[in-house]
Structure 1
Amino acid sequence: MMPPVIFVVTFLIISASASHYRGGSLSWSIDERTINESSSTVVVRITQRHSYRTNYSSSTFCNKTTIANGGLIGDGTVSCLGNCSEILPVIYSIPVFTTNVPCTDFSDEFGYSSGEGSVAVVVPKDVRFTYVSQSCCWISLLHGGSGWSLALVVDTHRRRNGKYNNSPKTSSSPVVQVQIGQTHVIPIPMADSDGDALRCRWGNTPAECGGICHPKGTLQPFPCQLTYEATALGYEGVALVIEDYDRITNESYSSIPLQFLIHIVDRIQITVPPTLNYTGPPILPACAVSPVYVGDRHHGACIGIASNATATERVVFKVPCNDSSTIITDILTVSPPGMTKSPISMDSNDNNAYIMYVQWTPRPDQYGIHQLCLTPVDSAGQTGQQVCYTFQVDVAPPQFVAESITPKGLVPRNQAIWSISTNQHVVPPIQRTPYIRYFKRLLNGTDEEVLRVNTTTNVIYQTTQLIINTSNTIWEDGAHYYILFDSGIVSLNQSCGIESASIMDKHFWEFWIESVTTPIATTTPIATTTPIATTTPIATTTTTTTTPISTTTTTALVTTTKPTTRAVDSDYYCPRWLSFGTVVNLTSSALEPNYTFCFTVNTSFADVTITANTWTSCSTWKMSGTADPLLELFTPETSIDSPVAQNDDGNSISHLNCYAAVLSYRLTKGNHRVVIRHPKCAYGNFELRLSNEITNTFK
């Protein structure tokens, strides 16, 4: 029995078969590093992308061998519009050049070849003129057609800031597939290396749009997106103009073209497994939903990279159905020259996700902005929405400084303030809201995301520092956590808003929660005096030593519950190690309320003294807002029991102990840990001293 067949609305890939042009774009840039101030001319780099029907002729054919050998595709020339010599201040011929460009991408299924290349032209300073690329013909279209024309406005005047302008950059797949009977929103990527305001509009002159000037839907200027209602099968030609402009005067600095095809397709057949009287092997259904993007970078991400350095990006698309027969068969690309793509592979952790790696090492002459656009294709003939990245060459991205992480290692259960620094001045995310994610490690390896921090509402952005607030989160006793960052947590306030990369390393920022004593239901208040050192945890009776710091009586809570223990490496508890003789000035704050360090006693015994001097005079101590720190001593350094000794924080003393917090204790050979706490939140400066005293009888 044959399986039944139903129709599902989706995308179908069909090759264009009429004439040969499939769209293109032009842009320009000036390298400030090459300016000769004494010259009357300037070098302008013109970058052009053109796409054609692959089998139209040998000049439009492309395959893997063509790309590997740097083969060219093209048809026509680019020349100055009109009699340009009449508008120039001197008699000067604007160079004419061909549209031949290195092939960078092709699709046998879509039937197109696409290439991008640049040419350097020498033109006079202080002129404004228009380059055009014109020829014939488009495929048969629903509206308009015949010849194409792309116009590029170049301006070599200096701007108010004394610099030369660079035009925007845009890209698109040559053919965007949409489904009949639906309204589709098509995002148009725009980027500008000068950080200018951008907008898009319809081409409205013969030079700007040739035979496809009729608007195709509703266009939103910024962010640029086309809303298109698909009512008839066939092709539409789209001609857009992108402008960078002065925010004050609203005048355009330059304009660039973007032209592409919309292909409106009919429904395709989806095979559905039989349910009645079927005795054959199980048949999985095809997924009736087009692939979705789930990669590390977001659509529109701006990525900084140095020339001669290599950038590697992981691209991930997913089939959004479980237990289906659909797989992703291709990822169509529009990419800069020299970019390589790996074969598509299934994600070992997710059978519905498919990964492709792209790698690019830009040459020095590829300065400025370049774009990569990706479109997934699945085995059911469906295409997902196009995703584009922007690469800014020779502008380094912001990076996080691992050594600045605060806190890490052992932290209290109520830790709420976290901090990390960057190596450049940064601003909040520009294009979207990324998240900082807290994960709890689990023994079975399936770690659990327990908290997602919104960077818009819970992160303070300072010049080179992020302060993260996890609010009232209470961390689990004895648990092990790590923090991951989405891409774009910070951006540079320049170019296209160059973003930080994602942090996926589980060891980059780790922290642990100490297992604490859990009191029983009934607790007993007791009176104690605070000695220089005690030999046991707080007991249920009053203990007095011969040399007390003070005679003040304090109250504590006692419990008979034994703390939980676990084997943990000492690095978990010791974010820093100090040696005897250390004298260091520190500042406590909400970012690091507890200062933890460890030290080693190498002799059989040693009298160890830790002091934290606040240096506030007795006469002003109570009104200064300063509180002496609470010093807690743990031995060995990995101990999660109560401290073997602690000092009085001085908070209840009217006139004594206002200069320093002191803790002295006789310790045996081994490693030990000290935690300096500020339980009253009176943060400030203090001087930490670590000293020891030994005699021959102790050795």
Structure 2
Amino acid sequence: MSFRVWILFLLQLVNISLADHYKGGTLSWKPTNPYSLTSPVEIIITERHSWTFTRYSCDNNIINTLGVYNDTQNATTATIICISSTATCTSSLFQNISSRLYCTDFTTGLQISTGTYYTKQYLAINSIIDVASRGAAWARETLTNEWSLVTHIDVTPISGKINTSPVTASLPIFQLYNNETSVIQILIADWDYDQVVRCRWSYQYSLDECGSTCFDLPNAQLNSVDCAITWTPVLRSADIANGLTQSTYVVAITVEDFVNASSTTPLSSVPHQILVYVSYRPTNTCTTRPNITGFPRRNLACYYARPGTFYSFTFQGRIYCLNDSIVEFISTSPFRVQKGNIFQQSNYTWAVSVSWTPLNNQTGLQPFCIAAVDNKGQTSNQYCVMLAVNGSNPSLTLPTFVQSTASPVGTVMPTQMRFSIQATTSLRRTIRSGTYIDIYQLNNNALFRRLDCKYSPDVYFINSTIVFFIHNPSWSLGVTYFITMTDGVATSDQYCGVEAAGFSNNRYWRFTIWNSAMSSTTTPSTTTSTATTHTVTTRFLGTTTYNTLYTTTGIPAYTTSTTTSTTSTTATTATTTTTTSSTKTTIIHTKIFSCNTLISTSKIK
């Protein structure tokens, strides 16, 4: 038997023993200390793989106890190998990885379980290599075979530090209906927040980034910036020909980071491969998908988590039709997340508890995604966040009564256009939608003006200050306004863009438009027909020196008011009337509005 025939025979054996079980995954890497430039450089490679549930069985006990999680039909584990030239792989000092995974998530209804593993490697500084995890075992329903995950690693120092690859996240499978246009959102983030991250379809040529699953979604559109796939699902013609009423596709994308927006040479690349299940909408399904709530922060954002701190949440899945119920939650979780069992909270709501204590060696970006699944197999939209373990926690400093870190407050001129507020860290423009600065009238809570912080050219981020302008405001004289900000208006210029909490209380940031008709000096009329002179009391506006530390113009809120009176006598008496003056000083109070990001009294599965 020739050598070539023998190799083909062995590959057939591998295909038979490992067939029909792979369902997607991702690879990423990071230096343990990006500023340590001594060779070799210690990095951590994170792998995450999803499998057919019957092949890789998992339950909450296995997850919570870090129990055995292996292929029930074959002891072979997924491996990661260097695929660059032999000389390059050897000089890089990379060692092949072959380790069992730890189960983190599972769903019996969608027949998927997911496991992860972290491995340390010690690479020679300046090494540039490509590593891959490959096999020939895609789940049978995908009508594909070979799978390939490839990540590009470059440990050449840039500006005194080692780069960190992007991190990706989503549910392992999306459930869609035929002919209903949908958006598949992939969460992407980079610890090196000063770099640009983009998505693209994976390619088979050159490095073979996706095996036999490249460009599997027909006519799908990928937004390279938001990493969102827009697609109108259809069934495969092959599945229709075989009498099937459902199809399962593979999404294979690659996420890369660049030194700037004009660069075309990636610093690193990471794969992200998932499944999309398409079927006809059953006649008995609710027209409204289930909904999921429970996370203290908004979808797709980045939040701070402190190592050694216990976090607990309760996620609720809600249904909107009678006789429906939530039967399970599907998730993508960090290592060592503890999960409880699903329980019913009300006639329309089911819940699951989740808790997590991040470890020091989990410093970096840790994604978490979750969705609810009803008894008809219909899933809610996914809810994903990126957790920056051991990052810094930004906050806004808000005045209670008068201007200090926010300006202006108090009484301002009708021409006021410039506003500003301070944060505790350097900021940058958010990349997330749904971040707004709103101005309301206090007397009726009517929205006066809204600024979209992702797009508006009237919002600026200067170091740790947010500055925004209201052009041609047409303020109402004498009316008090208040300002609110949503989560994420203040986004840290580091890590994955950790978001500060917003504020919606109408007491935090108020200002009143000066009305000259209400504030001018009034002198009662006098007559000359009598010899009597009257005592006239006047109140005038005090003056104060403009504080150059303020970031806006207008009438300062810190004022001195003085009351005086004239002394007069009448023609018939010698009585003298004397009044005293009084001074009123407004005191500045400030309140630190902190984003204590993930602490919650709730609990999760």
TM-score, scaled to structure 2: 0.71
Instruction: Give structure 2 stretches of 5+ with no counterpart.
Output: 1-18, 72-76, 237-245, 528-532, 567-577, 588-605
* 1:386 paired residue number: 382
Q: Write the mapping of 1:194-209 to structure 2, written as runs, cut at 5 A.
A: 194-195=192-193, 196-197=195-196, 198-205=198-205, 207-209=208-210
Asked if the contact 1:296–1:314 (Cα under 8 Å) also holds between the matched residues in 2, the reply is: no
Cα distance, 1:213 vs structure 2: 3.2
Q: Identity of aligned pairs, percent?
A: 22
- SS in structure 2 opposite 1:307? coil
* 1:362 paired residue number: 358
- Give the 3 Å change call, closer, same or farther, for CA 106–508 of structure 1 in structure 2: farther
Count of matched residue pairs: 518
Asked if the contact 1:346–1:355 (Cα under 8 Å) also holds between the matched residues in 2, the reply is: yes
Which among 370, 377, 381 is matched to residue 374 of structure 1?
Answer: 370
Asked if the contact 2:460–2:467 (Cα under 8 Å) also holds between the matched residues in 1, the reply is: yes
- SS in structure 2 opposite 1:211? coil
Alpha-carbon distance between aligned partners in 1 of 2:524 and 2:311, rounded to the nearest angstrom: 61
Alpha-carbon distance between aligned partners in 1 of 2:511 and 2:325, rounded to the nearest angstrom: 41
Alpha-carbon distance between aligned partners in 1 of 2:565 and 2:313, rounded to the nearest angstrom: 52
Q: Write the mapping of 1:578-657 to structure 2, written as runs, cut at 5 A.
A: 586=547, 591=552, 593-595=554-556, 632-633=561-562
* 1:149 paired residue number: 148
Amino acid corresponding to residue 168 of structure 2 in structure 1: T
Asked if the contact 2:169–2:367 (Cα under 8 Å) also holds between the matched residues in 1, the reply is: yes
Cα distance, 1:45 vs structure 2: 0.3
Amino acid corresponding to residue 366 of structure 1 in structure 2: Q
Alpha-carbon distance between aligned partners in 1 of 2:143 and 2:225, rounded to the nearest angstrom: 26
Query: Residues 576-620 of structure 1, C-alpha deviation per residue, up to 9 Å, x if partnerless?
Result: xxxxxxx998459684744456xxxxxxxxxxxxxxxxxxxxxxx
Cα distance, 1:394 vs structure 2: 2.8
Query: Residues 90-142 of structure 1, C-alpha deviation per residue, up to 9 Å, x if partnerless?
Result: 4x763233352322222222222212231112232222223222334222235
Out of 182-191 and 47-56, give the one that drifted further.
182-191
- SS in structure 2 opposite 1:152? strand
RMSD over equivalenced CA pairs, Å: 4.5
- Give the 3 Å change call, closer, same or farther, for CA 269–674 of structure 1 in structure 2: same
Answering whether residue 113 of structure 2 is matched by residue 113 of structure 1, we say yes
Query: Residues 366-404 of structure 1, C-alpha deviation per residue, up to 9 Å, x if partnerless?
Result: 122221122233455422332322222332132111354
Which among 225, 230, 235 is matched to residue 234 of structure 2?
Answer: 230
* 1:666 paired residue number: 580
- SS in structure 2 opposite 1:392? strand
* 1:435 paired residue number: 436
- Give the 3 Å change call, closer, same or farther, for CA 673–417 of structure 1 in structure 2: farther
Which among 166, 172, 175 is matched to residue 173 of structure 2?
Answer: 175
Alpha-carbon distance between aligned partners in 1 of 2:281 and 2:344, rounded to the nearest angstrom: 27
Alpha-carbon distance between aligned partners in 1 of 2:433 and 2:483, rounded to the nearest angstrom: 20
Instruction: Give structure 1 stretches of 5+ with no counterpart.
Output: 1-17, 271-285, 520-527, 531-536, 555-582, 598-628, 634-643, 648-663, 677-699
Cα distance, 1:363 vs structure 2: 1.8
* 1:127 paired residue number: 127
- SS in structure 1 opposite 2:385? strand
Amino acid corresponding to residue 261 of structure 1 in structure 2: L
Asked if the contact 1:84–1:94 (Cα under 8 Å) also holds between the matched residues in 2, the reply is: no
Answer with 1 or 2: which has the greater Rg.
1
Cα distance, 1:269 vs structure 2: 3.1
Alpha-carbon distance between aligned partners in 1 of 2:426 and 2:551, rounded to the nearest angstrom: 22
Amino acid corresponding to residue 191 of structure 2 in structure 1: S
Alpha-carbon distance between aligned partners in 2 of 1:413 and 1:174, rounded to the nearest angstrom: 55
- SS in structure 1 opposite 2:361? helix
Q: Write the mapping of 1:688-699 to structure 2, written as runs, cut at 5 A.
A: none
Alpha-carbon distance between aligned partners in 2 of 1:511 and 1:224, rounded to the nearest angstrom: 39
Higher relative contact order (CA 8 A, sep 6+): 2
Amino acid corresponding to residue 388 of structure 2 in structure 1: Q
* 2:103 paired residue number: 103
- SS in structure 1 opposite 2:28? strand
Query: Residues 517-537 of structure 1, C-alpha deviation per residue, up to 9 Å, x if partnerless?
Result: 999xxxxxxxx9x8xxxxxx7
Amino acid corresponding to residue 167 of structure 2 in structure 1: K
Amino acid corresponding to residue 55 of structure 1 in structure 2: T
Query: Residues 392-427 of structure 1, C-alpha deviation per residue, up to 9 Å, x if partnerless?
Result: 233213211135444688657967654321112212
Cα distance, 1:30 vs structure 2: 0.8
- Give the 3 Å change call, closer, same or farther, for CA 251–518 of structure 1 in structure 2: closer
- Give the 3 Å change call, closer, same or farther, for CA 510–421 of structure 1 in structure 2: closer
TM-score, scaled to structure 1: 0.63
Query: Residues 251-306 of structure 1, C-alpha deviation per residue, up to 9 Å, x if partnerless?
Result: 22222221111111222232xxxxxxxxxxxxxxx741224577764443122344
Asked if the contact 1:77–1:96 (Cα under 8 Å) also holds between the matched residues in 2, the reply is: no
Q: Write the mapping of 1:267-306 to structure 2, written as runs, cut at 5 A.
A: 267-270=281-284, 287-291=286-290, 297-306=297-306
* 1:335 paired residue number: 333
Amino acid corresponding to residue 54 of structure 2 in structure 1: N
